[in-house]
Structure 1
Amino acid sequence: MSVPIDTARPRVITLWDFTWYTRTGPGEPFEDLDRAFDQARERGYDTIRICAMPFLLFRSGLDTSALGLGPLGGDHGQRTRWYDVRHSTTIDARAHLLELFRAADRHDVGVIASSWEYQQSPAFAATPQWYEALHAVDPEDRAVVLADAHADLVDLLETEGLAHRLLLTELHNEVQVGYLTDGLGTGRGDAAVRALTPRLERGIARFRERHPARPVTVNYAGVPVGALSALPADLDALVVHPYVYGVLQELVDTFGLRGPVEEFDDERARELLRPHAPGLAAWRPQEWRTRATIMALPELYVHDWCDPDAWDRWLYDRWGAHRTATEQKLTLWLEAAADAAAARGIPLVLGEGYLGYTPLHARFEEGPVGAELCRRALREARRLGAWGAVVCSNAAPQHPMWSDVALQRECAAIFTGRDEPAPVS
C-alpha cells in the first residue's frame, strides 16, 4: 500500500469529468479555468474529479498537440446532460492538462485523476482515432496500460512541480459498466465486479511499481454490495457512486431507456417527449460515436427530446411510493461501503451521486425532493467518516444546478462540519 491518504481534511468534490476539456469554447463553462475555480471555491469545493485523458496523452501514440473536440453532430446531445457540447475546439491537450493543474495550484484545489476513456470521452473527438486506439488494446491488458498512462502523468506532474495537487489516482471510472469488461461475458452487475478484479489488480500493481508512494484505486458504479469482498486487495481508497435511482429506475424500466433499440416503443415514450419529436429510427448520431459511448441510444434519444416538465411530473407523481425505500437504500449502501472501507483501513469517497442520470433541463434533483436527498447523503457521509463526497454529480459548472450557490454551500458545510456560510445575496 502507498503512503496513507491524509484524511484529516474532508474533501468536497465537484465533478468536472471530461467536460473541462470538451467545453472550452466561447461562453462555455470552462472557457476560463480560473473563473471556474473561483466559482468552485465560492461554493465550498476544494477538490475536482476529472478525466485526465491519460491513455490519449501517454499511450495512444496520437499527436495531441492539436486535438479536435466538438459536439456529437447536428443537434444530437444538445439537451442531454454531459453531452451538450456547443462548439468545435482545438486544444493542445497536454498543455491544457498542465494549465488545469497550475490553476488548481493557484486556487488551492486538489485533483482526483481518473479516466472516462473506456466509457465516453472519445465520442467528442473530431475523428474516431482515439476510440480506435483504446479498443486496439487487448481487454486483458487495458487496466495495465491505463496504469502506465497514469504513471506517465505523475512523471509529468513531478517534472512540472505540480504533483502535490494530485490527491488520488483512479485507473478508470465505473470499471464494471464500461469497455474494461470486454471479453468477460458477465454483463455489468456484481459478476463483472468479481471477474474484473484480476485485471484491475495487475493494473494497480503496475502503477505501484512505478509510483509506490502515490495512492491509487479504481471506482465503481453504484455500491457493489454483493461483491465488496471481491474488490482488489490493494486499494488505497474505496470510491463508489451511490446513485439510488428508485423512482427514476421505474421510469427507465417503464420506457425501456436502457434496453435494446429494437425493443424501444416510440409511441409509449410520447408521454415524455416534446411535440413533433422524431422517431428514434430517424434520429441517430454518427455510428462510431454511438460505439464510443456506453450510453444506450434510447436513453440518449429520450433525454434529447423529452419535455423536462413532463419528465419531472412523472417522477413527482410516483415519488411517494419510492421515498422510504430510496432513503433506506441510500443509508444501507453508504453504511455497507463505509464498513468495507473500514475493514480495509482505507478512506471512503463518494465520487458521484445521488439520484441518477436525468436530462439536462430536468429539475427533479435540484428541486425539493432531490435537494433533500443530497443533504441526506452529505449528512450520512459525514456521520460515516467519508473522506470525500460530491454535493451532487449535477453540481458542476456544466450543469444548471451550478447556479444554486446556496444549496451547494449548505451541503459543503454539512459534510465538513463547519458553520453554514452566510446566505448568498
Structure 2
Amino acid sequence: MTERYLGTGHDSDAGRPVPAGVPAHLPSRLSITLWDFSWYSRAGEGEPYADLDGACADAADLGYNCIRICAAPLLLFGHPELSDLSRDLEIEGLGAAPDGGYYGRGTRWYDVPGGYRIDLLDRLRQLLEAAKRHGLVVIFASWEYQQSPSFARSSAWFDAIDAVPLAERYDHLAGAWGRLIDWVTDLGLRSQIALVELHNEVDFSILPALTGSGERALAGLRQQHPDLLITASYGKPPHLAMHQVSDALGAAQFHVYSYGVLDALQQLIDIRSEQSEGFPNAMLRSLLVVGAPTPAEYGRPAEWKLRATVVTDQMIYGYDWVDPGLWDAWLDEHAAPYRLMMRREIESRVAAVAAWAHWRQVPAVIGEGWLGYTPLNAWYEESEYGLEFAECGVDAALRAGVWGVVLCSNAAPHHPMWTLRDWQRTVNARVLSGGA
C-alpha cells in the first residue's frame, strides 16, 4: 500500500502560540476594557467615571486586568501654553442642541452632557494610583487627532494641535509622550504602563501615513525607553498584505471589526457621509422616532468641533434620532446571510495580525472589535447574536496567541454592555487562563 503524504510536515504541531516580547513584569495575558477618553469626558457627578477608584475596583471585580485610555499627551505635555487649560479643563461635549438636549445623546462615546471642570493631569495621577491599587495595568494612547479635543468647551486644545504641520505631528506626539512617560516615572508608577501607542488608529486620524516621520518618531521613542512596549495602532491593518506593516511597531495593536450586515444598513441610510443631497433619505426616515426634527431644525455642533472629530454631522443627527428598536429589527431581519462571512472575517483577521506579531516577535493586542459602531441604545452587540461574535473573536485571539484582547469595544462602564456582568466575568476568566 502506497503511503500518501498530502503535505504532512507543513502544518506546525507546536500547539497554541505563546505571546512573544512581553516584559517580565507585565501580566502574561491582558483582558482589556476600553475607557478611551470617556474616563475624563464622562466624569461629571453621577457619571460612570466620577469615582475613578470605584470604576477601577469594579473593572477588577469583573475580571479585567488592563484599561486602555486616551492619556491626552498633547494637552498635558505637548503645548506649554495649554498648561492652565489642562489643569482646569471644562468639559462641554458636542454642545447644547436647540431642543434643550445635547448633540450626540444617542451615540456611543459622544453622549457627553458635560457641565463640569477637571484637572486632567491630577486626574491621570489618580487613575494610575487607583489602577495600581486594584491590580490593573494601563495602555496609554492618544485620540487627540481623532476626537478628544471636541469635548472641551474651549477650542484652544484643538487649535493648538491643529496648528502643528501635518509632517511634524508624529515628532510632536513622540516629544509629548516622552515627557509624559518621564512624569509617570517620577511618580513611581512606570510599572503600570502596559503599552504606549503613539496614536490611536493612525489610519483613521488627522495624521499622515506612518511611513517616514512616524517610523522615525517611533524608533526614537523606543530607543529612549527600551523597557517599554511602544507602538501605534491601526483601525484596519492590511490583513491580506501584512508584509506592508511597518517593522517600527513595538507591538501589533490592531483593531478587528466585521461590519457585515451593519455596513449594509449604513450604506442604505447614507449615515457616515457629509452634506449628502436629500439627507435623510427615505430609508433613514423610516427608522427615525416619530416627531424627529429635520436636520435643519436640529442644527449641528459648532464647526470647530466637527473639524476636531472624524464623526460626521449626519451620523450625529441619525443616531440621535433613530429608533433603536427599528434599527435592531432591521439588522435582525437581514443578518442571516452575513453570519458565516462575518465569523470567518473576524477569525481570519485575528489570525493574520497574530501571525505578523509572532513573525516580528512582538506582542499582539486586539484593542478594539468586533461588529462596529451602533447607536447608544441599540442592542445589536449586546444581544445573543452580538455576544456570539464577541466570543468568536476572543476565542480566535486565544487560539492565535494574542497577548491582550477586549471582550468587545462596548464592554466598558460608559456602555450598556457593562450590565452584562456574569458574561464579562466568564469570558475574562477564559482570557486570563489563555483559553485553557
Mark the runs of 5 or more structure 2 residues left unpaired by the alignment.
1-19, 97-101
Letter in 2 for 1:279: T
Alignment match, 1:186: none
Any conservation in 2 of the 1:257–1:264 contact (CA below 8 Å)?
no
Instruction: Tell me the equivalent position of 1:262.
Output: 276
Mapping for residues 211-360 of structure 1, pairs under 5 Å: 211-263=225-277, 265-268=279-282, 269-282=284-297, 283-360=299-376
Instruction: Classify 1:418/1:232 alpha carbon distance in 2 versus 1 (closer, same or farther; 3 Å).
Output: closer
Measured after TM superposition, the shift of residue 218 of structure 1 is 0.4
**Aligned 8 A contact 2:69 2:139 in 1:** yes
What SS does the corresponding residue of 1:285 show, helix, strand or coil?
coil
Residues 280-289 or 350-359, more deviating: 280-289
State the match for 2:29 in structure 1: 10
Tell me the alpha carbon deviations over residues 270-291 of structure 1, each in whole angstroms, 9 at most, x when there is no partner: 1221111122233211111111
1:83 equivalent to 2:101? Answer no
Given the alignment of the two structures, is residue 175 of structure 1 paired with residue 190 of structure 2, yes or no? no
Q: How many residues get paired?
A: 406
Offset at residue 314 of structure 1 (A): 1.0
In 2, distance between residues paired with 1:222 and 1:176? 7
In structure 2, do the counterparts of structure 1 residues 393 and 3 end up closer, same or farther at CA, with 3 Å as the change threshold? closer
Corresponding letter in the other structure for 2:390: C
Q: Could you tell me how far apart the structure 2 residues matched to 1:3 and 1:211 are?
A: 15
Aligned with residue 382 of structure 2, among 362, 366, 370: 366
Q: Is the 8 A contact 1:14 1:395 kept in 2?
A: yes
Give the partner amino acid of 2:341. A
Please state whether the residue corresponding to 1:113 is helix, strand or coil.
Answer: strand
The alignment's TM-score, normalised by the length of structure 2, stands at 0.90
2: CA distance between counterparts of 1:212 and 1:358? 39
Q: 1:4 to 1:392 in 2, by over 3 A?
A: closer
Q: 2:62 aligns with which of 31, 40, 43?
A: 43
Give the whole-Å Cα distance in 2 for the aligned partners of 1:21 and 1:126.
13
| Structure 1 residue 8, shift from structure 2 partner | 6.1
2:409 aligns to what?
A: 393
Aligned to 1:376: 392
TM-score, with normalisation over the residues of structure 1?
0.92
Structure with greater Cα Rg: 2
State the secondary structure of the residue aligned to 2:392. Answer: helix
Contact conserved, 2:230 with 2:250, CA < 8 A, in 1? Answer: yes
Q: Which residue of 2 aligns with 1:99?
A: 126
Counterparts of 1:393 and 1:144 in 2: how far apart (Å)? 29
Matched-pair identity in %: 41
Q: 1:201 to 1:414 in 2, by over 3 A?
A: same
Aligned-pair Cα RMSD in Å: 1.7
**Residue type at the aligned position of 1:355:** L
Q: Secondary structure at the match of 2:212?
A: helix
C-alpha separation between the residues in 1 aligned to 2:278 and 2:148?
A: 26
3-state SS in 2 of match to 1:168: strand
Per the alignment, residue 197 of structure 1 pairs with 211
1:264–1:339 Cα change, 3 Å: farther
Q: CA-to-partner distance for each residue in 1:219-238, whole Å, 9 max, x for gaps? A: 00033214422222222210
Deviation by residue 1:194-247 (Cα, 9 ceiling, x = unmatched): x43223202202312432322100000033214422222222210111011100
